[in-house]
Structure 1
Amino acid sequence: MSTYLKCIPARSTQFINTKKRNIDFYEAFRMYARELTILAGNSKNVKSGKADSYSRYLVRLVYNYEMIFNDKINDLDSFFAYEKLNKLTQIIDYSIFNKNENHFPSATLNCYLSYLTFLNDKVEKFRDNEMNAQINLLSYKDSMESLTDKSISSKKNRGNKIFINGRYSYSRNIIESNKAKMNSGWKCEYNNNHKTFTNIRNKEPYIEAHHLIPMAAQDYFLYNIDFSDNIVCLCPTCHSKIHHSIYPERKKTIETLFNKREFKYEKYGIEIDRGKLLTFYGVL
């Protein structure tokens, strides 16, 4: 098995044939990379070649993986494909290859991981909104408090996706989200001084539950991430900010919340660092 990584030319037969098999995906990935670059303020020119380079290097990474491991990648829209491509980083000459290519291979992998999370987020965000709506209709706080001993306290294998309302997604345990709200003291975890309004159902301040490691990234992890220590409680403004704010504000919010619970993930079998978490949010 050859372990020599090659930067095949974009006009080569190898490149063209590799791209042809998943041409629609590469184009969609290129458009996503371009959008990220513009939103991040790294380019005011919509014709910037950075996104084109990411798309080309993704083709090259797929080609190298298939040649080195003698294994085809056909499901590029899955985290399983990312796991395969990430094996290239373990090859001895990868660091040299990456440096010689101005770190485009590593940057492409990060952008690819972000894109896969984005694709899953379309479905998982619907489930998050549904979960918050269910929690905020609860009026039986005492009953929920009695169920917290059933919440997750150690690593647990992720479940399977289920088909709900025409979508495949991971289920949420309402006990975990409600426990997170009680643990927060019904206050915004980004800033305890943020005021909301009183929920008519439970007479507590209205706050929203948010998975800090997004459920859209569950496929990346072997173990379940739907546990209370991964669920932050935010006022509506901060919850919206983590999804829709400009990247400097989004980054600050995510890092502040992560710093408060970084040490909690190990007991759940979750390996996560600040950079990887930001990648899931498109902050590259």
Structure 2
Amino acid sequence: MDTQRIHPYENRAVLKEYYAKYLKDVRKVKDSTVKHYFDALSYISRYLKEKNLLKRDIYEVMDLQELASLREILYKDPDFMAFNKQGHQMYSAGLNNYFRFASGEFIEQENVDAKEMDMPLEKTGFNDTPEKPSLSYIATSKHWKRSSILRRQTLAFAHYTCELHPEHKTFLAQSTHKPYMEGHHIIPMVMQPSFDHSLDVYANLICLCPICHRQIHLGLKEERKDMLKEIYEQREERFEKSGLTLTENEFVELGLR
């Protein structure tokens, strides 16, 4: 693993690529229909950009509540709704379908396994020119952006069960009425410059109960090593499929940072 490499892939394209794979491989949608969905979202992106509500496109929105707010703004906009009516509701249909994907509803309803979604993210044919992942700035610190939408979907893929200790029980969360769980980036996002592919992907996200999540961050080093080795054994093939190639020792070392 070359620690001097700079990741050329922009995080905003991750959701776009996963959405394309969902349409093609899960929904089995025809290419012509996929194009209609993406054309609708392209128009919506341009419309929201003109109103200074987006910088680039809809896929840069990494929070489901923010996406819901943008949808509400559009549905209260008479100009958009008139154009949507002329287009036989194709724009609202495209947005609603994308929202359904982003919310993770499809995971339980269509019984989708996370492994089905793993891929090198350049392979679906819908990514734009590769760029560096976006940075968010807080005071003098830099943080790699991460998608709360992907984190939410990760919990749904695991059926709100701890992936290290399924027997661990928690309380029901008010927001979901599901057992409270937390999403954890196995390879820390701070290591993004060392990789050519995004770390904010399904293969690098795991659903953990609060105890296991705190332990993997703050527990005894030897116990953390054991946890990481177990995860690597479960995820090695998924890492490789997502372009994250590293040995067990490299993985454990990164996880202990």
Task: State TM-score, norm by structure 2.
Answer: 0.51
CA distance, structure 2, for counterparts of residue 152 and residue 241 of structure 1: 27
Is the Cα contact below 8 Å between 1:209 and 1:234 reproduced in 2?
Answer: yes
Residue 145 of structure 1 pairs with residue 104 of structure 2? yes
Map of 1:159 onto structure 2: 132
Tell me how many residue pairs correspond in the alignment. 154
Map of 2:185 onto structure 1: 211
CA distance, structure 1, for counterparts of residue 155 and residue 186 of structure 2: 14
CA distance, structure 2, for counterparts of residue 254 and residue 144 of structure 1: 29
* Alignment CA distance shift 1:275-1:265 (3 Å): same
CA distance, structure 2, for counterparts of residue 215 and residue 244 of structure 1: 17
* Alignment CA distance shift 1:172-1:267 (3 Å): same
CA distance, structure 1, for counterparts of residue 152 and residue 186 of structure 2: 15
1:3-14 correspondence runs (5 A): none
CA distance, structure 2, for counterparts of residue 222 and residue 142 of structure 1: 26
Is the Cα contact below 8 Å between 1:213 and 1:230 reproduced in 2?
Answer: yes
* Alignment CA distance shift 1:244-1:282 (3 Å): same
Detail structure 1 runs of 4+ shifted over 4 Å in the superposition.
138-143, 146-149
CA distance, structure 1, for counterparts of residue 144 and residue 118 of structure 2: 16
Q: Deviations over 1:166-198 (max 9, x none)?
A: 332221122221221111110000011101111
Identity %: 24
Residue 267 of structure 1 pairs with residue 241 of structure 2? yes
Cα distance, 1:214 vs. partner?
1.2
Q: Deviations over 1:91-134 (max 9, x none)?
A: xxxxxxxxxxxxxxxxxxxxxxxxxxxxxxxxxxxxxxxxxxx7
Is the Cα contact below 8 Å between 1:213 and 1:225 reproduced in 2?
Answer: yes
Is the Cα contact below 8 Å between 1:207 and 1:234 reproduced in 2?
Answer: yes
Map of 1:228 onto structure 2: 202
**Higher radius of gyration, 1 or 2:** 1
CA distance, structure 2, for counterparts of residue 135 and residue 245 of structure 1: 32
Cα distance, 1:158 vs. partner?
6.8
CA distance, structure 2, for counterparts of residue 158 and residue 210 of structure 1: 25
* Alignment CA distance shift 1:248-1:135 (3 Å): farther
CA distance, structure 2, for counterparts of residue 191 and residue 158 of structure 1: 38
CA distance, structure 1, for counterparts of residue 178 and residue 100 of structure 2: 10
Is the Cα contact below 8 Å between 2:184 and 2:205 reproduced in 1?
Answer: yes
Map of 1:194 onto structure 2: 168
CA distance, structure 2, for counterparts of residue 191 and residue 162 of structure 1: 33
Q: Deviations over 1:195-239 (max 9, x none)?
A: 111101110000110011111111110111111121011011100
CA distance, structure 2, for counterparts of residue 171 and residue 214 of structure 1: 12
CA distance, structure 2, for counterparts of residue 158 and residue 275 of structure 1: 29
Is the Cα contact below 8 Å between 1:79 and 1:219 reproduced in 2?
Answer: yes
Map of 2:4 onto structure 1: 80
Map of 1:33 onto structure 2: none
CA distance, structure 1, for counterparts of residue 201 and residue 230 of structure 2: 19
Task: Determine which structure has greater relative contact order: mean sequence separation of CA pairs < 8 Å that are 6+ residues apart, divided by chain length.
Answer: 2
Cα distance, 1:281 vs. partner?
3.2
RMSD: 3.5
Cα distance, 1:155 vs. partner?
3.1
CA distance, structure 2, for counterparts of residue 182 and residue 237 of structure 1: 19
Is the Cα contact below 8 Å between 1:180 and 1:231 reproduced in 2?
Answer: yes
Amino acid at match of 2:237: F
CA distance, structure 2, for counterparts of residue 159 and residue 279 of structure 1: 24
Amino acid at match of 2:137: I
CA distance, structure 2, for counterparts of residue 279 and residue 174 of structure 1: 26
Cα distance, 1:159 vs. partner?
3.2
CA distance, structure 1, for counterparts of residue 131 and residue 198 of structure 2: 4
Is the Cα contact below 8 Å between 1:162 and 1:168 reproduced in 2?
Answer: yes
Q: Deviations over 1:145-174 (max 9, x none)?
A: 25879x774235673342332332221122
